[in-house]
Amino acid sequence: MDIPRKKKKSPKKYVLGGVVLAAAVGATFGLSRLSPAAPSVDRATLFRDVVRRGTLIRKVRGPGTLVPEEIRWISALTAGRVDRKLVEPGTVVEAATVLLELSNPDVELELLNADRQVAQAENTLAQLETDLESQRLQLEASIATTRAQFLQAQRNLRAAEQLALEDLASEEEINAARESVEETETRLSTERRRLENLANSIPNRINAQNAEVTRLRAIASFQRGRRASMLVRAGVDGVLQELSLEEGQWVQSGTLLAKVVQPGRLKAVLRIPETQARDIVVGQLAIIDTRNDTIIGRVVRIDPAATQATVGVDVSLPDSLPRSARPDLTVEGMIEIERLVDVMYTGRPAFGQANSMVGLFKVLPNISEAIRTTVRLGSSSVSEIQIISGLEVGDTVILSDMSAWDAVDRVRLR
């Protein structure tokens, strides 16, 4: 009978398994230490620029409009109804050109009443002058009569005294003659004082009435001006820009009726973002783009306060303007702030404020990869920005928005 023999297991396969396991663990560890592959970016979708050295012109930009330097707003002096509309907007007008004809019966009645009051006051003045002159003449006549009586009383007194010396007149007759002299002298003195008082009061009374006449004449003149304002005139030579009223429409006092401008004198009013307006000063050079022409001007005024996150800046323009310039034209303005000489600069990146640190992707010399580089920025302009450190002249950087690759420091350009 055969007895089966036990076979001895060979250690060879265990060694082989251990080697395979160690290789797998080593490969896994090695793969875990490898950096992830750099993502690919289509270079055709990226905006790039080269770092240059030279003069950087700092500018700020903002939209605006062309507005006339001289604008005449015509408003209604008094209420009235539009009877006739004689001129349409866009028409060249002169100062005496009638734009509208208004009517208001109340204005006519008030003028008639004012004229009547003036006539009454003038009649009162004439009557007063006549009455005062009559009173003066009566007093002068009364003084003359009293003076004659006084002289006669003096003669009677002298005659009585002469007769008394010859015992032909009694004491009572002398006393009566003396009393007559005193009485006529008193009346003469009183009449003279009355004449003096009258002479002193005549100018004051006449002046008071003259002042009343002047006041009423001013009222009448104002009423005539109101009636004259019913014919609405341009007031200045220019172009009628606005006239929105229609015939039959009723307007109240103070209502805006028309707008006349002088198109030959225009200025640009720019709206500059408040964050960029801090360095603007009067006198700086400005370039106004009308889409068809370019006009050179100077900053003449800066609004003291911001409105809707912008600051208004007025730019004066030369007298001779291109044909494309007209009131209310939308323009684009660029103001030159300063010139930085011999500095490094490049195009302004999508994200990156002036005087800040940013991470920009610098294109490597092989042009197939770009790495993130920390760059210190300086002063900025509309489309360019100063480079303080982090880049060198000739370096190419990506200016497009790379926020989608914030998690990586290297990208491949395909």
The answer on pLDDT for 34 being more than 50 is no
In this structure, the answer to whether residues 118 and 216 fall within a common structural domain is yes
**What per-residue confidence (pLDDT) applies to 170?**
78
Side-chain half-sphere CA neighbours of 263 within 13 A: 17
Range with the lowest mean pLDDT among 64-68, 264-268, 375-379?
264-268
Instruction: Evaluate whether 324 touches 292 at the Cβ level (below 8 Å).
Output: yes
d(CA 202, CA 56): 85
- Predicted pLDDT of residue 224: 93
Provide the pLDDT for residue 4: 54
Domain presence at residue 16: no
The CATH number given to whatever domain includes residue 93 is 2.40.50.100
- Structurally, the chain folds into a number of domains equal to 3
Lowest mean pLDDT among 31-35, 54-58, 148-152: 31-35
Same domain, 267 and 403: yes
- Contact in structure between 316 and 335 (CB atoms under 8 Å): no
Q: Give the pLDDT band of residue 125 (cuts 50, 70, 90).
A: very high
Average pLDDT over residues 239-257: 88
Q: What percent of the chain stands above pLDDT 90?
A: 33
Check: CB of residue 184 under 8 Å from CB of residue 153: yes
Residue pLDDT, tens place only, 66-111: 988 888 889 898 899 999 999 988 888 998 999 999 999 999 999 9
At 31 the pLDDT is 44
Tell me the torsion sign for CA atoms 225, 231, 237, 239: positive
Structure confidence at residue 117 (pLDDT): 95
Q: Give the residue from 231, 242, 232 showing the smallest Cα distance to 71.
A: 242
Q: Do the domain assignments include residue 5?
A: no
pLDDT beyond 50 at 25: yes
Q: Assess if residue 377 is contained within a domain.
A: yes
Instruction: Judge if 55 and 132 occupy the same domain.
Output: no
Lowest mean pLDDT among 24-38, 82-96, 171-185, 394-408: 24-38
- Residue 275 shares a structural domain with residue 169: no
**Identity of residue 398:** I
Q: Are residues 147 and 60 in the same domain?
A: no
**Any domain includes 12:** no
- Say yes or no: 53 and 140 in one domain: no
* Residue 400 sits in the same domain as residue 267: yes
| Residue of higher predicted confidence among 191 and 167 | 191
H-state helical runs in 103-230: 105-165, 171-228
**Given pLDDT bands bounded at 50, 70 and 90, which one contains residue 321?**
confident
Please check whether residues 251 and 203 belong to one and the same domain: no
Contact status, residue 51 vs residue 392, Cβ threshold 8 Å: yes
pLDDT of residue 1: 46
Q: Which residue has the higher pLDDT, 4 or 356?
A: 356
The average pLDDT across 304-328 equals 88
Residue 337 sits in a domain whose CATH number is: 2.40.30.170
Convert the pLDDT of each residue in 138-189 to its tens digit. Answer: 989 989 998 998 889 888 888 888 887 777 777 888 888 888 888 988 988 8
Instruction: Give residue 124's pLDDT.
Output: 92
Whether the predicted pLDDT of 35 surpasses 70: no
**Are 405 and 286 in a shared domain?**
yes
* pLDDT category of residue 379 using cuts at 50, 70 and 90: confident
| Residue ranges making up the domain that contains 187 | 106-228
Q: 300 and 178, same structural domain?
A: no
Q: Residues 324-348: pLDDT tens digits?
A: 888 889 999 999 988 889 999 998 8
Query: Residue 217 pLDDT more than 80?
Result: yes
Q: 24 falls in which pLDDT band (50, 70, 90)?
A: low
Cα dihedral sign, 180-186-187-192 = positive
15 is a domain residue:
no
CA distances from 390 to 54, 141, 235 (A): 17, 116, 64
- Inside any domain, residue 33: no
- The whole-angstrom separation of Cα 111 and Cα 89 is 32
**Which of 180, 208, 228 is the last residue in one of the domains?**
228
Q: Side-chain half-sphere of 184: how many Cα atoms within 13 Å?
A: 22
Residue 36 lies in a domain: no
- One domain for residues 111 and 99: no
What pLDDT is stored for residue 98 in this prediction? 92
Q: Which residue has the higher pLDDT, 327 or 63?
A: 63
* Average pLDDT score over residue span 52-60: 89
Q: What is the pLDDT of residues 279-310, one digit of tens each?
A: 899 999 999 999 888 999 999 999 998 888 99
Do residues 280 and 398 share a domain?
A: yes
Work out whether strand 256-261 and strand 238-242 pair parallel, antiparallel, or are unpaired: antiparallel
The answer to whether residue 22 is domain-embedded is: no
pLDDT digits (tens, 9 = 90+) for 197-215: 988 888 999 999 999 999 9
